[in-house]
Structure 1
Amino acid sequence: MPACRSLRAMHALFPCLLLLATFTTSAREVAAPAEHVDADGPYVFVTAKGHEAEWICNDHIVHRTLNPRGDTTQVLPECGYPHPVTVLPPRTAEVAQYPATPRIVAVSDIHGQYDLLVGLLRAHHVIDAHDQWSLGDTTLVVAGDVFDRGPQVTEAFWLLYSLQQQARAAGGAVHFVLGNHETMVLYDDLRYVNPKYLRTAQLLGRSYPALYGPESVIGQWLRTRPVMLKIGDTLFLHGGIAPENLDLVRGMDATNATYQAALGLPRDQVKAAPDTARLFDGKTSPIWYRGYFDGQLDTAQVDALLTQLELKRIVVGHTSMPHVSSFHGDRIIAIDSSIKNGENGELLFIEDGVLSRGLLDGSRVPLAEGTMGLED
């Protein structure tokens, strides 16, 4: 009985806690730039003659002009990302609906914790000891939020960019789904940017969003990423689908295209324009919604929502959990395992419909039973 009363009390307090968290988020200020950058880069930009690459190494700019070799350009490391990069020609927007595949691995909310991500992927043989794709025809899904907080955002983006090429060559796939922090950085909301990157931007004479502008390789790549991805009967996205937004899933291709066209536009513009306002709404949009975890929807309502969309499950990041967790009878899977803290992280495995989570030591265990979370 005391435990039940305690749970009821916590549920009653939840709206107040959520309001406090929202107020704290809105009150946050942009950090001052770091005093020194040890290593960052490359930032690769498209030019009329090929590509220009820039690094910050020991607080100094290293600049290199790169000539294309056929359809690709090779970028050898100076500092920052430690591996050579093969830059491909710009791609068109990624297809976002695929048939079922026997094995999917998913992770989200990396937030600049590249070393932890590498350790986790190596532990489960997604990549080998040289950080090359090693999982054959498996599909890897990253459900948003590489930007912000941690100190190795650049490295994480280049790893995913490279793994996508390697997986495709092996018959597999790597999908990156945009999160709210991708949209925030690109529309110049820098409240969560690590001070290191503000110093990098200062040294390179650009704003931080301009380092990922339409003329940058990673910026171009981001502008072709989806917000919603459907594989078989599983929907992947960063935040979630509110009941009033089912049409956004039914018109997934149009929804993704609208997001992609809006990336980098001013925040006030995308939040006010009729065709984008609900896509960027801080409470109900697909990149922000938390209604599966805060009591807005009960299990019956979640079941009805998925039935209408003809889905078996929805996999989301955004709301931090201590573990990859199951909610509403495995209908909602939360995969933000708090990698952002730089201490631990987990992977979701979906193998012929069987769900498990992969731990940092390489072991596999059942999904955790979900508990409420507040953090983004």
Structure 2
Amino acid sequence: MVSPFKISIQVPNYKDDLHYFTFRMHEIPKNEACEYSTPSQLFVVSDIEGNFAPLFKLLVAGGVISQKMEWLYGSGHVVILGDCFDRGEEVTECLWLIYGLEEKAKRHGGHVHYILGNHEIMNMNGDWRYVHPRYAVGTVSLTDPPAALYYANDELWRWLQSKNVIERIGNYLFVHGGVSRELLDLRLSLSEINALARPYYSHKFPEFLSDNTLHTLFSADISPFWYRGYYNGVADKSLVKNTLKFYNSKHIITGHTMLETITFFFDGKVINVNTDHANNFSEGLMVMKNKFYRVFTNGEYHKIG
């Protein structure tokens, strides 16, 4: 359900000051499901980090939205694979765009997924190491819910609390960092991972050191938010194979570790979609009929895999 109350947000850095996108406020958000059947098509973007223009251009190039930010993707699903926060200047605008697209997608039988990354967690528990100065103003107590970005903005706070750490959509397992061996050894279902993590999104990490499960979920090297093992030599084929088997998936799709281009690893079983949006090397991943395409901001598609 949505509220009749509408909000208009000015598009940042547009050629004029009269370009806005409009959306309706949601009702009280419910926690997202974490398993979905295979949609007609998928579009995946990761690590936007407050850069509105690349996000907008990729969504247009992928046929997800129009220049007027109308939903064009029908029953397709869009996955925002974490790290919309930090570094760039338009974090708020990125969040509200995604927020608004959720309702528009549902009206057409589609869905927008927002998987949390390490930068969401750092901001939700008041970690300011990477926050752009525009948002890090005033005096903020780190014991309070974050942060300068959320001044008087309980709506985005509640909305982010409803999001998941990990989801499966059809045969695709989505997680920002990855599934470490330590996490897999816990033998937790997707719903258990999300249910255990959600109450602690805004807690400081030292509280977890005495609890092995929470330590695994939030500790930098092995957490699903932070794990880089697929790309630094820590993970091996057996870990990938066992993860896919346990979670009944065929591919693991991650962000977090930046690469020059969307890249396949482990014989195509792991896919990294994090490219350098801040420096005009943006790519999105399109999945249609089990085929994979790089999508560029100029509208070009390149088949991969």
TM-score by length of 2: 0.89
AA matched with 2:66: D
Whether the 8 Å contact between 1:109 and 1:336 is mirrored in structure 2 is yes
**AA of the residue aligned to 1:350:** V
Is 1:166 paired with 2:104? yes
Could you say if the C-alpha distance between residues 313 and 213 of structure 1 is closer, same or farther in structure 2, counting changes exceeding 3 Å?
A: farther
Does residue 355 (structure 1) correspond to residue 292 (structure 2)? The answer is yes
Mark the CA change 1:207 to 1:79 in structure 2 (over 3 Å): closer, same or farther.
farther
Q: Following TM superposition, by how much is the alpha carbon of 1:259 offset from its aligned partner in structure 2, in angstroms?
A: 1.8
Q: Is the 8 A contact 2:136 2:148 kept in 1?
A: no
Q: Which amino acid aligns with 1:331?
A: K
Q: Which amino acid aligns with 2:296?
A: L
**Structure 2 residue aligned with 1:140, among 61, 67, 78?**
78
Does the 8 Å CA contact 1:188/1:267 hold for their aligned counterparts?
no
Tell me the SS of whatever aligns to 1:307.
helix
Alignment of 1:196-215 (within 5 A): 196-199=134-137, 208-209=146-147, 211-212=149-150
The aligned amino acid for 1:337 is T
By how many angstroms is 1:354 displaced?
A: 1.1
Aligned with residue 224 of structure 2, among 281, 286, 309? 286
| Contact kept in structure 2, 1:198 and 1:208, CA below 8 Å | no
Name whichever of 228-237 and 274-283 sits farther off: 274-283
SS in 2 for 1:198: coil
Matches within 5 A, 1:234-273: 234-246=172-184, 250-273=188-211
Where 1:321 maps in the other structure, the secondary structure is: coil
Contact 1:213-1:219 within 8 A present in 2 as well: no
CA 333–131 in structure 1, closer or farther in 2 if over 3 Å, else same: same
Code of the residue aligned with 2:57 in structure 1: it is: G
Partner of 2:16: none
Amino acid at match of 1:244: E
For 1:299-338, what aligned pairs fall within 5 Å after superposition? 299-338=237-276
Structure-1 separation of matches of 2:158 and 2:133: 24
TM-superposed deviation, 1:189: 1.2
**Greater CA deviation, 75-84 or 110-119?**
75-84
Check 1:74–1:309 CA distance in 2 against 1; reply closer, same or farther (3 A cut): closer
1:345 is the counterpart of 2:277: no
Percent sequence identity over aligned pairs = 30
| 1:123 lines up with 2:61 in the alignment | yes
Residue in structure 2 matched with residue 95 of structure 1 by the alignment: 33
Structure showing greater radius of gyration is 1
Q: Assess, with a 3 A threshold, how the Cα gap between structure 1 residues 172 and 259 changes in structure 2: closer, same or farther.
A: same
CA distance in 2, matches of 1:359, 1:138: 19
CA contact (8 A) 2:145 2:202 kept: no
In the alignment, what sits opposite 1:220?
158
Gaps spanning 5+ residues in structure 1: where?
1-69, 369-376
Task: Give how far 1:333 is off.
Answer: 0.3
Match of 1:75 in 2: 7
Counterpart secondary structure, 2:113:
strand
Q: Gapped runs of 5+ residues in structure 2?
A: 13-18
Q: Once the two structures are superposed, what CA deviation does each residue of 1:182-210 show, in whole Å capped at 9, x if it has no partner?
A: 001111111100011113x569xx98526
Looking at structure 1, the residues matched to 209 and 50 of structure 2 have their Cα atoms a distance apart, in angstroms, of 26
Q: Which has the higher contact order (CA 8 A, sep 6+)?
A: 2
CA contact (8 A) 1:306 1:312 kept: yes
CA-based RMSD? 2.4
Alpha-carbon distance between aligned partners in 1 of 2:205 and 2:131, rounded to the nearest angstrom = 16
Amino acid at match of 2:91: V
| Structure 1 residue 303: Cα displacement | 2.7
Query: Deviation digits for residues 44-63 of structure 1, max 9, x if unmatched?
Result: xxxxxxxxxxxxxxxxxxxx
C-alpha distance in 2 between matches for 1:82 and 1:312: 40
User: What is the match of residue 373 of structure 1?
Assistant: none
Deviation at 1:92, TM superposition (A): 1.4
Match of 1:9 in 2: none
* Residues 143-186 of structure 1: per-residue CA shift (max 9 Å, x gap): 10001111100000000000011000011000000000000111
Counterpart of 2:232 in 1: which secondary structure?
A: coil
Say how many residue pairs are matched.
Answer: 295
Partner Cα separation in structure 2 for residue 79 and residue 138 of structure 1:
25
What TM-score, normalized to structure 1? 0.73
